[in-house]
Chain A
Amino acid sequence: MSGILSSSLARKYAMALSAFFLIFFLLIHVSVNLLSVFSEDAFNTASHFMGTNPLIQFIMQPILIFGVVFHFVMGFVLELKNKSARSVKYVKNNGAANATWMSRNMIYSGLAILAFIVLHFIDFWIPEINTKYIHGDTSGLLQNGEGLRYFEELHLKFSNPLRVGAYVLAFVFLALHLLHGFQSAFQSMGMNNKYTKSFKKWTKGYAIIVPLLFIIIALFHFFNQ
């Protein structure tokens, strides 16, 4: 590698910045999804806006996809480089003595999230792109033309217990990933000072609450079929 990715510290900054971006995206995503619990109309309106606004569709969406791909590719590159830095392993290694499970297994929680994203793309993103840009239907209306389609589609997806189970499991892995990743991103960007203790509490709160909200939303729709 060359340029900005050639230094170990530059790679750290890149991972942290892409993580911050994805964490910010998660907040927006959960906020919009949460509307589906409280108001069908509000969720439909917000989804239609997100799905048709050119700034979001053609600027933010490609940036988001780049952010996701970059974070994953960089994660794999780091994992491979780090594994190759110790070609002979310890016969006995007590990793639990000095580091959390989450911090030692970011690659596995990350892989679980990646598998979920593939499922999520098949579930929502590809049909959405198909409707809007292949069939050219950007009206957002149901097939019978009576109201917007977004809530119906979401609600229907969560009727399948297997899908709900997979989503719940994926969000548990997301929580585990964020429990280490969010506070770690601050450390990577050089923030470790008298505020770190309280910041760690905030990041832990985020890491638990946001995935939990996603789980609650999925379960809400499942139990309200």
Chain B
Amino acid sequence: MDFTLKIWRQDSANAQGSMKDYKVTDISSDTSFLEMLDVLNQQLIEKGEDVIAFDNDCREGVCGMCSLYINGEAHGPKKLVTTCQLYMRSFKDGQTIYIEPFRADAFPIVKDLVVDRSAFERIQQAGGYNSFDTGSAEDANNILIDKETAAAAFDSAECIGCGACVATCKNSSAMLFVSAKVSQFALLPQGRIEATSRVLNMVKQMDEEGFGNCTNTGACEVECPKGISLENIARMNREYLAASLKG
């Protein structure tokens, strides 16, 4: 398969960026999107040009490192996959593909397609943990949790913090991410102990990072590679309201 690629190139955080055109040819339909970029980078190396910088790590869809806004969608046109799980068979032969970094002022560009998502880490540090020692594994029946709640907590914990929610949201809101991190604790008895301070501190940090306000478009839920549901945002809204009243 052959493709025309329009890729955002930017030398450094403060440099002026622009879209540059590239061609790749003879790409197997079973090549992953990141492998296709590897092929392009190999060509650039052979020509003595600067390679295109892009984030990646596990390439198994679990680490949350890969990003990319492909043809106007976070992680590309396929739903419930990260960019590393996107294969070139999802595109038409000869297609022009736009590749841009995740854009939000809270995710500043480092170089080319690499963005700094450490804002998410600071939100996590503001309360996305239990501060006390939960000890070693207890007998499974010591704390009873119904199946539905346990499954919901696990669904929330599936968030890999890739930032697709922010990238796809027209407001650059981080509420899907923050709400998933709030929910994975809020749903379980161990997480309830610090639930009040957790949601207040994490939302405060989220606002300080400069993310936009959620207007419930639902785009984040659709583009989330892990299918994190809007129910998490509603839960965070409830948690925050209750926490604000408690103080």
Contact = CB atoms under 8 A, between A and B. Distances in A.
Interface string A64-92: 00000000000000100110111111111
B216 to A, nearest CB: 4
B118 interface: no
B214 A8 contact: yes
Interface of B: 6, 8, 19, 69, 71-73, 77, 98, 100, 103-106, 168, 170-173, 175, 203-204, 206-207, 210-219, 222-223, 230-231, 233-238, 240-241, 244
Contacts of B236: 9
Interface in A169-224: 180, 184, 187-193
B223 to A, nearest CB: 5
A90 B100 contact: yes
A106 interface: yes
Contacts of A78: 171, 213, 215
Nearest to A102: B217
Contacts of A190: 234-235, 237-238, 241
Contacts of A90: 69, 72, 100, 103
Contacts of B230: 187, 192
A194 to B, nearest CB: 10
A188 B213 contact: no
A93 interface: yes
A225 interface: no
Interface residues of A, number: 39
Nearest to A106: B215
Given A88-B103, A90-B72, A98-B223, A184 B237 contact: no
Interface stretch (A10-18, A37-45, A146-154, A159-167): A10-18
A191 B168 CA distance: 23
A11 B173 CA distance: 13
Contacts of B222: 97-99
Contact of B98 (A6, A92, A95, A187): A92
Contacts of A100: 217-218
A29 interface: no
Contacts of A8: 173, 175, 203, 206-207, 211, 213-214
Contact of B73 (A88, A97, A106, A180): A97
Contact of A81 (B69, B73, B213, B233): B213
A189 B233 CA distance: 10
A81 B212 contact: yes
11 contacts: A8-B207, A78-B171, A85-B211, A86-B104, A98-B218, A104-B217, A184-B216, A189-B241, A190-B235, A190-B237, A193-B234
A10 B243 CA distance: 12
A144 interface: no
